[in-house]
Structure 1
Amino acid sequence: MIKTRFGQYNGDSWEETCQLFLKKKYHLQDYQEMVAHSQGDLGIEGFTRTGLVFQCYCPDEEYESKKLYELQRDKITTDLGKLSKNKKELIKYFGDVKIKKWIFLTPVLRNKELISHCQQKAIEFKKKFEMKDLLDDEFDVLVQDEGFFVEEMLYVKAVLEEKIDVNVATPTVEEVIDWKQCEAESVQILFRKISKLFKGNSNAELYTNKYVDIIIRNFIKGQNVFDELRDNHPALLEKLVRIKSGIESHIEQELLLTTLQPKEFIQGIQSKYKSALESEAFGRMISYVLQEDVIKEAEADWLVRCPLDFVEGV
């Protein structure tokens, strides 16, 4: 298996994922999957009526960069060779469509020399006179990884019933200290608010200090999680932000009317956020860990920015 930022793949699962990507992304260009038959896949996984041709490849195990490049390079060379070998058969499927771009789909690209190899093969094939009736005059060979299909990821994950996760490290003690030094005013606000959670407790000062650090850690991690989602799952992030904003817009009113103690109110807000996520089917879309990170980020963010405060005496 190859592990990437979006998931884990072997040859079969990558091909399945590619077909879902391609059908979603290129349906308006009449994408057509080339189902393998007794004579093989003819060197392509599918094509569009606009002249795009796709071939998928994923090794079944992790390799260091040099070995991975060699495998990808050789696969490109072999499958492009099938265009010549299967030209007559391919024309039966393509009709008048000529190949403008032959695109090699692979989960990760770790060596830029693969791009150079694609360029060399494009030049080589454009010079082949016998390929003129199959290839466009501007024929090109490209390599694309999973990053080209970020927009389609939510759809694919839902279809495959895979949950999205984000691998973000928990902030270190040093990172928490640095944040406190840079955001002194916010730290004072947090101490004022969180002290109310432990009012009357014999260890109030100790618990307040610990919980302030927890909130700051959750805030830092949450922001890093959102950065990852912004880069890799923008559609998912947009939906999460919409739900968070909807809950936030009512917090101030609920605080004025609540009879709950601060600690109970926070637990209630967390529960409401979790229910909102589940009502939007996020429980099936994102991992438990990611869901918890998102909920904790909201609590921390509201405490830092002040939508979440507690009336004296409550």
Structure 2
Amino acid sequence: MTEKEWLGEDWEEWCLLLMRRKYGADEIQRVPARHRGDLGIEAFTFSGHAFQCYATQGFPSVKERYEKQRDKLTVDLGKLISKKDELCKLLGSVKIKRYMFLVPVFESSQIVQHAATKTEECREHKLPHLHDDFRVVVVTDDDYADERRQILEQPRDLVVVAEPDESDIASWIGEHEALVEVANHKLSAIISNPIRRKEYLQSLITQHVFGNNTLSALRPRYPDQWESATRNIYRKERLLVLEHSIDGRPTSQNVTSIAKDLQRELEQNVPTLGEPFCRAIAWSAVADWLMRCPLEFYGEDHSESA
């Protein structure tokens, strides 16, 4: 099985999704690090489990992976000591019994030995926010196989979003005439037939509205999935010119390729969204890029005239 390369932020989101499935969304508290710094944990349960997620970048050797994981674990466990006052305020009456170090893969027994060594070091400090039976445990998502399967096989949608009808689309077009005209002008480079172009644009706007409605519905109920989806869209936009340089004789296949690429990335990184929502969100992003600057066509040839 080919090893997947995780971005750190995506691995964290995936781990937190597993933890919520394992312990219940109302039993786990996420700990954002943007304000007042990182405290060495990314979430904790009220029953005494603390979580730190870490994914090494690239595909390092076994030795390199171990060294990076060892150094990360050492630094973050050190914060349990150096930031004990802040952690006591954060945790309240909760005492950390298990410190779960979640990594995509570990292949060296030395990281387990290191975790055992650090366990004893932390216990020696008699920290008020650590349980007497405190222990560091190194795990992967394989250790949460049932939760992983439940998430990936989730039969129902996270949110229910009605597809926009003709009146919804007409209303949206009326409120965004300038943006629609920009998209229409750009599409004229690949679809010269005005009737076909109008139909294409109508379908594109339908997906745009549906995708936006989906994200809006996700945001209040599933903020982690919303954040991960929007982050993937933003990341794709930044790489748009590099990955999809559209010049010469552009065709609608270029647009389809971009949408399908983004859909695959969303399905991989935000698996709970499901295929229909990922497709709608991907096409919504493409429509947005057409109406703004990120997606442009060059050249005067029209590749579709029928």
The bucket for the TM-score relative to the shorter chain is 0.3 to 0.5
User: TM-score scaled by structure 2?
Assistant: 0.48
